[in-house]
Amino acid sequence: MKKSFIFGAALMLVSAFGLQSCSKEDNAGASTQAPISYDIAKGADLSVLIEKYAVDGVLELPAGGEITLNQAIEFDAPFAIKGNKANPTKIIAKAGIITNSPLIIENVKIDATEVTTPLFKMNTLPTEGLNDKGAYEIEKITFSGVQVENLSQQFFWTNKQAYYIKNFTFADGNINVKGATKKTIFDFNGGGFFENLTISGSVISADEKTTWQKGSFISTQGGKKPGEISSAEGVKMTVTLTNNTLNNICKGQNSCNYRENNKDYQFFVVKDNIVTDCDKEGQFIVGIGTGRIDSKLAATNWQASGNKVTFGGKDVGAAENTKSGIENACIVPETPAAE
């Protein structure tokens, strides 16, 4: 079972997406009720709250409390769910959220223990509005202040659909992966692609017993390359990882897989991360480049510095610098001067 919410292709959102608002007449069916109170939201299903209290494609949740997500929700127009930054609402999820449009999720906690599908995924392609490559372009999908517990499926999946997402952001959040899984956390496989993927200020950790096997941290493997999906010329693919704490991510294997590797259209910014037991020993930076970094591209397409990387309890910064070919990629402890 899933519940669809169609707000109309002409709906334009000011607060969520910075676009021109529709007229009052166009929006005559929108809710005008007061903001949701804590008592109303307590124990309610997210789909019910959306149906009753969303205004212009935005649902604002009250501080604290606990709600449920019992069946999959589908969005066919831009939508935003916004919680309280100081006291996020907790969502007990038994299903995921599906969209074919821009999406913003802010300041919520999600218990994904019972979710057996991707937590967020793209719907099948719309029949209209495709670019000249047959892909559907989306300006942005943003997760900010989102905390996820007990994830065993993809956090995000393009669902083997030709979506070209220009800006995908996961910021100031937390993802905890539990149990054995073959899933990829940020999965653009099978036709999807991103222009800019940014993960910043976040903690992403896996249970020490978790084994990915065929899963990854970030992947476009089996999907498209920019020229095959974007209508623009000279599009770049940029992966930005800054100020994150990463633990046990894809330990023992390359953490990232892309449609193509070591191409001049691929750019990477990897700065000021704290990394513990991720990828192969001394190869976290290399793993972000899928296991190899071309020496010419290391100088032109990579910005890597200030990363603190340990593996098996020892600092492997020197090995990271050597294997990646980027001299200042990782902090190397100073050798004490001999007495």
Q: What pLDDT is stored for residue 265 in this prediction?
A: 94
Which CA distances in Å does 312 have to 22, 144, 182, 251?
56, 31, 23, 11
pTM of the predicted structure, to 2 decimals: 0.89
3-state secondary structure 262-323: CCCCEEEEEECCEEECCCCCCCHHHHHCCCCCCHHHHHHCEEEECEEEEECCEECHHHHHHH
- The secondary element (H helix, E strand) that includes residue 53 is helix 46-53
pLDDT beyond 80 at 213: no
Question: 43 falls in which pLDDT band (50, 70, 90)?
Answer: confident
d(CA 99, CA 19): 19
Nearest to 36 by CA among 8, 6, 64: 64
Boundaries of every domain in the chain: 112-324
- Tokens 């005008």, located at residue: 32
Could you report the per-residue pLDDT of 113-158, keeping only the tens digit for each? 999 999 999 999 999 999 999 999 999 999 999 999 999 999 999 9
**Stretch 210-238: mean pLDDT, rounded?**
82
Q: What pLDDT is stored for residue 39 in this prediction?
A: 59
Could you report the per-residue pLDDT of 84-120, keeping only the tens digit for each? 999 999 999 999 999 999 999 999 999 999 999 999 9
Q: Per 3-state DSSP, what percentage of the chain is helix, strand, and coil (rounded to 5)?
A: 10, 35, 55
List of residues 6+ apart from 39 with CB closer than 8 A: none
Q: What is the mean pLDDT of the chain?
A: 86
Question: 338 falls in which pLDDT band (50, 70, 90)?
Answer: low
Q: What pLDDT is stored for residue 332 in this prediction?
A: 80
pLDDT beyond 70 at 187: yes
**Stretch 298-320: mean pLDDT, rounded?**
96
